[in-house]
Every structure is written in C-alpha cells, then in structure tokens.
Amino acid sequence: MDHISDILGGARTGRETEIRGWAYRSRASAKTAFIVLRDSTGIVQCVASRDNFTEEKFKQISSITLESSLSIRGTVFQDSRAPTGYEIKISDFTIYQRNENFPISRDLGEEFLLDIRHLWVRSQEFTAMLKIRSTVFSAFSEFFHNEGFYEVHTPMMVSTATEGGSTLFKVPFFGEEVSLSQSAQFYLETLIFSLEKVYTVGPSFRAEKSRTWRHLTEYWHAEAEAAWLDNNGMMDVEERLIEHIVKRVLSERQNELGTIKRDISKLENIKAPFERIRYSEIIRNSEKYGISLKYGDDIGMDEEREITKRFDKPIFVTHYPSELKTFYHRPDPENPSEILCHDLLAPEGYGEIIGGGERIWEMDVLLNRMKAYNLNPEEYYWYLDLRKYGSVPHSGFGLGMDRVVMWICGLKSIRDAIPYPRTIRRIKP
C-alpha cells in the first residue's frame, strides 16, 4: 500500500500503485469518472474509464460521493493537467463506505463549522494547520531535550492557584473542591532542585469569562524552569527556542504554509535576538506605539495588537510594575516596585505568547508578597519550603502553544489553531 506522497514524489511513475483514502472531489461523464482521492499526505487525481469496468462497477465509481472511503489500484502517469501533476488510471477499486450527504460544502457559518468540527478537521486547510501544530510541538520538545532539560509531568488537579483565583475552574474531588491547573510552574520549581532544568507540555485551564480571539478555557501550555538562570538568561533561551520552532516549521512545512496561504517572508524574519523593551519605555513612548496608557495601566490585548503591528519580530516587554502581575515575580533589587519579568509579544498584532521571569527565591520577600495578595501561607507550605531548604535563584516561563500555532499559521482566531476549542460557549464536540 502506498501513500499519495509516494506518488507525488515521482517514485511510482509508470508503475502500479495501491492507495486508500477519501473522495475529495469527483465528477463523471458517460465514459470517464474522475476522483480526487485524499489521504493524510496529499491529494491525487484518479480516473476510471467505462471500457475497463462492468456497467455496475462503473456506476459505483462514477457516482462516488464526497468523503466516501475507498482504495484504488492503478497505474501512475505524470499529467500536468491534474491538480497535483499526477494521475492514476484505475484498474480496480474497493469502496469501504459510501456516504450520503456529507454535511460540509462551501461557505458555511463559523458556528456551524464549530458544531461539525469533527468533520471539518478533514479539510485541506485544517489538515495543514494540524501538521504545522505537530511540528511546533515536536520542535519545542526537541529544543529542550537538546539543551539538556528533562521532561517532567505535573498534576492537573491541584489545590493552589498560581495565576490568581478569578480564572480557577473548580471540580469536585471526593467531597472536597479542587481546581484544574492554571500552570505547572510551582511544581516545576520543586523539580529544579533535583533536575536543575525541566520542561513540560500539557493542558492548562482558565475560566475565561469572555470569548476573545486569543483566549481558550483549556489551552496547551509549554513551560520550562531552570535553576541558576536570571531574567535575561531565560530570555536568551526563549528567543533561541522561538527561532528554532519557526525554522523547523519553515523547513518541514513549506507545503502546508502554502496551503493556508501564509506569507512566509514574515516567518523568515524570525531570528534571535529579540528586542527587550522595559514596560516604562513602552509607556513613555505610547504615542509612537499608537496607544494611550499611563504608568501603572496594564498593557491589554488591544494595546499589544497596536504595539506589535509595528514590529516584524517578537519583542520582550520587561520590568512591569509589580501590581500588574501575580505574586511570585522577583522585585528588581535596583527598583523594587518593578519586577524581573517578561512577556514575549509576537509581531503582526498577535501579542503575548510567553509570560515568564525570575522567581522570588528569598523566604521573607515571598512572605511579604503573599501577604500583599491576601494568600494563606499554609496553603502554599510546599512552595514556601523551597525557599527554606537550599533555595537558589531561578527563572522560568510559560508559552501558549495554541497562540504560537495561531501566529505561525497567521490565523485570525485561536479557535482555528486547536482541533476542539473550549471556550465559555463551547464544550462540543
């Protein structure tokens, strides 16, 4: 059994082949039936001549319906008129399942396409996105593996919030109430004391109350944590990571980027280093970035859109005022009202794809910050223990994989970067 990519690669030309897949397109006359077959590797035109089949069999193949499943045996010819340059003259075929009324045709509404996402995933554009997404995930792991980080796994059901109570999902747990994890960070912090450099990829959960183009309630979070690294050191790692991911996509997914009509020149630009701009600089130059914020205001989704439209590479924004972020970020010793943190904002209006920074590693500083955030130290006893037994300077970050896929693919919504998006209004299919 061959794959369509074997045929498109030229290696089967003039020879017999057998492929299987789904009818992507079909049309027929009294004498000839054309079927464009698709499998996971591509599409190819197949043609059946009335002369080679009984009346009954020719009827079957010439009336094949969209997305019916079948296998085809035949001879491969090069043919510049065919959609992908090759054509298979069918000598025999087997239909596995003949469809009635596949529900997807052109021009359907967004909500309907989300209702039938389990069928829409078959489309050429979606398949291309899924392949790019697969490459992004493998490139992420490959990068950290090569950098000597260990992959670890952390619980999804937890008893402590990392990113504040307002986006916690509560679930029943044997008579208690626990939360779904917002971030693996605190567990990663515990693990650097044995492995020094760790990473993980898994789902994170945020009870986001509004539906935006870049928020999911369940998203794929790739996080890393390293002992002995400061804020700048962590940003060095991240810019090389992003460069690596984009490079892998460019070299491995040229065809798919073409299928979704991504402007590749925008990606070819993505080379480290990335500019590092302080929050206070952004505020000072508000006008230049097309925003109007004063010191102390958060840089929201709309502001990030304006700022990053003006860049053709990702930028780091560093040193936010401490009130704008959660409690664990380390205050800058030179100016303790600002913290040693960073967000990495993707260009072309996409905005935040990474949040990270240096962690408070001194017990008294951490206790003070927790007090300011009204957190109960007893609930965080294990997090505090890390500051009690052999504490070390360390840094880490979390990257939203679906956001990275959205940016790399040039998509309008994060919902199109994941097969089954979960938002405030959607839990099906």
Interface positions with ligand 4AD (CB under 6 A)? 162-163, 182-183, 185, 206, 208, 215-216, 219, 221, 223, 352-356, 396-400, 402-403
| Residue nearer to ligand 4AD on the CB measure, 208 or 416 | 208
Cα-based angle 347, 353, 359 (whole degrees, multiple of 5): 130
Q: How far is CA 177 from CA 154, 173, 180, 422, in A?
A: 19, 6, 10, 22
Task: List the end-to-end C-alpha distance of the chain, in Å, as a whole number.
Answer: 32
Min dist CB 290 to Mg ion, Å, is 21
Count CB neighbours of 208 within 10 A: 18
Min dist CB 389 to ligand 4AD, Å, is 21
Min dist CB 219 to ligand 4AD, Å, is 4
Task: Tell me how far apart the alpha carbons of residues 317 and 345 are, in angstroms, rounded to a whole number.
Answer: 8
Binding flag, residue 396, Mg ion (CB under 5 A): no
Q: Which does 397 bind (CB under 5 to 8 A by kind): ligand 4AD, Mg ion, none?
A: ligand 4AD
Min dist CB 182 to ligand 4AD, Å, is 6
| Residue nearer to ligand 4AD on the CB measure, 77 or 169 | 169
What is the per-residue DSSP string for 58-97?
HHHHHTPPTT-EEEEEEEEEE-TTSTTSEEEEEEEEEEEE
Furthest-apart CA pair in the chain: how many Å?
87
Min dist CB 356 to Mg ion, Å, is 9
| Residue nearer to ligand 4AD on the CB measure, 48 or 354 | 354
Long-range contacts of 362-368 (CB under 8 A, 24+ apart): 362/387, 362/391, 363/387, 363/388, 363/391, 365/330, 365/331, 366/327, 366/328
Q: How large is the C-alpha radius of gyration of the chain?
A: 26
Task: Tell me how far apart the alpha carbons of residues 259 and 253 are, in angstroms, rounded to a whole number.
Answer: 10
Q: Which does 53 bind (CB under 5 to 8 A by kind): Mg ion, ligand 4AD, none?
A: none
| Residue nearer to ligand 4AD on the CB measure, 223 or 303 | 223
Beta-carbon-side half-sphere exposure of residue 182 (alpha carbons within 13 Å): 20
Please choose, out of 171-179, 209-217, 353-361, 415-423, the segment that lies near Mg ion by the rule CB under 5 A.
353-361
Q: Which does 400 bind (CB under 5 to 8 A by kind): ligand 4AD, Mg ion, none?
A: ligand 4AD
Question: In one letter, which amino acid is 274?
Answer: F
Min dist CB 206 to ligand 4AD, Å, is 4
| Residue nearer to ligand 4AD on the CB measure, 12 or 330 | 330
Closest residue by beta carbon to Mg ion: 355
Q: Is 408 in contact with 266 (CB distance < 8 Å)?
A: no
CA-based nearest residue to 22, from 64, 59, 83, 63: 64
| Residue nearer to ligand 4AD on the CB measure, 116 or 130 | 130
Min dist CB 357 to ligand 4AD, Å, is 7
Binding flag, residue 355, Mg ion (CB under 5 A): yes
Phi, psi dihedral angles at 99 (to 5 degrees): -85, 150
Please choose, out of 124-132, 194-202, 244-252, 354-362, the segment that lies near Mg ion by the rule CB under 5 A.
354-362
Min dist CB 374 to ligand 4AD, Å, is 19
Instruction: Report the interface residues with Mg ion, using CB under 5 A.
Output: 355
